[in-house]
Amino acid sequence: MITRNPGRLDFHGGIHRPDRKSLSAGKFLGKVPLPEILTLPLQQHIGSAAEPTVTAGEHVCKGQIIARTTEYIGAPIHAPTSGTVLGIEERPVPHPSGLNAPCILLQTDGKDAWGELPEPLPHYADLDPSLLRERIRWAGIVGLGGAAFPTSVKLNHGPDRPIQTLVINGAECEPYITCDDLLMRKQADRIMEGVKILLHVVEARECLIGIEDNKPEAITAMQQAVAESGLEHVQVVQVASRYPMGGEKQLIKVLTGKEVPSHGIPAEIGVTCINVATAAAIADAIIAGRPLLSRLVTVTGEGIANPGNLEVAFGTSLSQVITHASGLTSLAYKLILGGPMMGFTLDNDKVPVTKGTNCLLLASKEEAPDPDKALPCIRCGKCVEVCPAQLLPQQLYWHARAKDLDKTREYNLFDCIECGCCSWVCPSHIPLVQYYRFAKTETWAMEKEKQQAEEARRRHEARTERLERLERERKARLRQKKEALEKKAARGAADPKKTAIEAAMKRVAEKKARQARENEEN
């Protein structure tokens, strides 16, 4: 059943941005051939980095776990193909910082030989959800919709938060990106398989599949798959094309009318939101017993010769993906990972594709011009009109600019989903989102520092107390000794230490003064 988005359910704000999906829509360019070396970052998702379970020189099979974590929020990493571990080294990773991070380097052997896999679970319906969650966790599945949050964690909503509605996110609201669209067009059955499993795992009563109305083929395909599955309580809902319709909170609002509480998660209102590709990956893990080894990636923009979608094994470098899409055009100016609204630029194409990589946008200068110099905020309130989180972006900016972190929090900084709508409409071209990201990371760091300071205070107090106690005891002992022994001996032991510390303090002070002088002179 196609249901049109009922008008009364809508989210505040958002923008209409002319989309360029036609560049790549519906185009599947096949699999990128396995390169010689795969680079697999140990941290590919929210949560803690995985610990390697292999060492240099070890031979691994396709699908074998090569890194895992004991932390709850985490996912293992599998070898995307068979080959030999070259080592664990720092390599550039797809991250806005442009930093290097530890990666497992895997020399592929071209055999692509599967290792031992767990048995498939086609009769999942008879199994306990916890068993299935375990399998999903084993498969290393994280959200493929962008945030890369470990899916097994998300599915473990706990008995006190029963899920009524499963929301399947097929909105794909970012301009340019079409990988979910392609998946829905071509593999609707696989997605439906995943939906069935998910419905069983979260024990939801209904499932709503939200798809933006600019993807009619995907809607038809999904609708057909739903009809074939014969599931009454699954509905395909056509939603308006408005960015960021695909944002979890926005889609849930539009589909169910419920608002995810501020600072909360969907489970609190009995909803869970899963991306279509994630659902398909879950189907693989349960039905075929296969872990997550590759994903669909959109390669698009005026800077690429042959835009389209590719299936890419994790660890393949972006340059190989680009080559497979027939290389760059002369227009290529910027390399953006993700969509133009939320993605980030990279200064080189040597980084690997990871689980969170959904799009490679090779933008021309016209598509992604260099930012103008920002003007001061003129408080026009356009950002307020478009903010889907219903924040006051200009106030957030005002305080973030002044580095007043407390105030930014008072204005609900942490409800900002970094969608970029505000920056988009701002007539002063202020990089608003960057201010918020700055304020967020700064707040986190400060929080951590505070904890450390607290710890330091505790330790300092403990130490002071201990020293005082020792001093008391020493004095007591001294008094006793004094009666028996001569005074000299007792004094001698104490003084050198004191002088040492005093001398230390003095040296520090001198050094500081010296530095100060040097700075002065410079």
Partner 1 sequence: MEFPVHTSPYGQLPNNVTRLMGQVLLALVPGIIALVYYFGWGVIINICIAVATALAAEAGVLHLRKRPIIPTLMDLSAVVTAVLLAIALPPLLPWWMTVLGVLFAIVMVKHLYGGLGYNPFNPAMAAYVLLLVSFPLSMTRWLPPEMLNQYPLDFLQSLAIIFGGQFPDNLTWDAITSATPLDEMRTQLEMHQTISELSQSPLWGDFGGQGWEWIGNWFLIGGLFLLWRKVISWHIPVAMIAGLLLSAGIFWMIDPESMPSPAFHLFSGGMLLGAFFIATDPVTASTTPRGRIIYGFLIGVTVYIIRTWGGYPDAVAFAVLLMNMAAPTIDYYTKPKVFGAREDEDG
Partner 2 sequence: MSYREIIRNGLWGNNQALVALLGLCPLLAVSNTLINGLGLGLATTLVLVLSNGTISFIRHWVRQEVRLPVFVLVIASFVTAVELAMNAWFHDLHKILGIFIPLIVTNCTIVGRAEAFASRNPVPQSMVDGLSMGAGFTLVLMTLGGLREFIGQGTILSGIHLMFGEASRALTFSFGDDFHGLILAILPPGAFFGLGLLIALKQVIDKRNARRASAPQAEPQTTTATAEG
Partner 3 sequence: MLTAILTIAALSVSFGLLLGYSAIRFKVEGDPLVEQIDAILPQTQCGQCGFAGCRPYAEAIAAGEADINLCPPGGEAGMLALADLLGKEPVPLENESNTSSAKSIAHIREDECIGCTLCIQACPVDAIVGAAKQMHTVIADQCTGCELCVPPCPVECIDMVPVKTTLSNWKWPYPDGMEQEPKTQEQGS
Ligand X SMILES: Cc1cc2nc3c(=O)[nH]c(=O)nc-3n(C[C@H](O)[C@H](O)[C@H](O)COP(=O)(O)O)c2cc1C
Q: Which two tokens stand for residue 351?
A: 């980084």
Cβ atoms of residues 299 and 360 within 8 Å? yes
Task: Establish if 341 lies at the interface with ligand SF4 (CB under 6 A).
Answer: no
Site string for partner 3, 333-372 (x = CB under 8 A): ----------------------------------------
> Binder to partner 3 among 380, 445, 470, 476 (CB under 8 A)?
445
517 lies in the binding site for partner 2 (CB under 8 A):
yes
Contact status: 391 vs ligand SF4 (CB under 6 A): yes
For every residue of 330-393, DSSP letters joined together read TTEEEEEES-TTT-EEES-S-SBP-TT--EEEEEETTTSPPPPPPPPP----HHHHH-TT---H
Structural tokens at position 326:
């027939």
Sequential DSSP letters for 73-117: S---EE-SS-EEEEEEEEEE-SSTT--EEEEEEEEE-S---B---
Task: Pick out residues in 447-506 that bind partner 2 (CB under 8 A).
Answer: 505
Of the residues 457, 477, 487, 491, which one makes contact with partner 3 according to CB under 8 A: 457
Phi first, then psi: what are they for 126, rounded to 5°? -90, -5
Under the binding rule (CB under 6 A), the answer on residue 157 touching ligand X is: yes
Interface residue with partner 2 among 119, 489, 520, 522 (CB under 8 A) is 520
User: Interacting stretch for ligand X, rule CB under 6 A, among 3-11, 98-106, 146-154, 487-495?
Assistant: 146-154
Cβ proximity to partner 3: between 128 and 510 the closer is: 510
Nearest CB to partner 3, comparing residues 376 and 492: 376
Tokens representing 16 are 């209409």
Q: Applying CB under 8 A, does 148 fall inside the site for partner 1? A: no
419 near ligand SF4 (CB under 6 A): yes
Q: Residue 309: beta bridge partners?
A: 28, 298
**In angstroms, how far is the first alpha carbon of the chain from the final one?**
74
Binding mask 489-508 vs partner 3 (x if CB under 8 A, - otherwise)? --------x--xx-xxx-xx
* Strand ranges in 129-221 using DSSP code E only, listed in sequence order: 165-170, 206-212
**Site for ligand X contains 246 (CB under 6 A):** yes
Question: What element of type H or E holds 129?
Answer: helix 129-138
41-100 residues in contact with ligand X (CB under 6 A) are 46
Biggest CA-to-CA distance, the chain: 101
Report whether 404 contacts 387 (CB < 8 A). no
Nearby residues of 400 by Cβ (< 8 Å), 6 or more positions away: 408, 413, 435, 436, 438, 439
Kind of pairing, strands 294-300 and 308-313?
antiparallel
CA distances from 85 to 38, 89, 271, 272 (A): 10, 11, 41, 38
> Looking at beta carbons only, is 74 or 303 nearer to partner 1?
303
Q: Which does 505 bind (CB under 5 to 8 A by kind): partner 3, ligand X, ligand SF4, none?
A: partner 3
Q: Under the rule (CB under 6 A), what is the footprint of ligand SF4?
A: 377-383, 386-389, 391, 393-394, 397, 416-422, 425-428, 430, 432-433, 436
By CB under 8 A, name the binding residues for partner 3.
Answer: 43, 49, 93, 95-97, 99, 101, 373-376, 401-403, 430-431, 434-435, 437-438, 440-442, 445-446, 449, 452-457, 459-460, 462-463, 497, 500-501, 503-505, 507-508, 511-512, 515-516, 519-520
Interface residue list for partner 2 (CB under 8 A) = 505, 508-510, 512-513, 516-517, 520
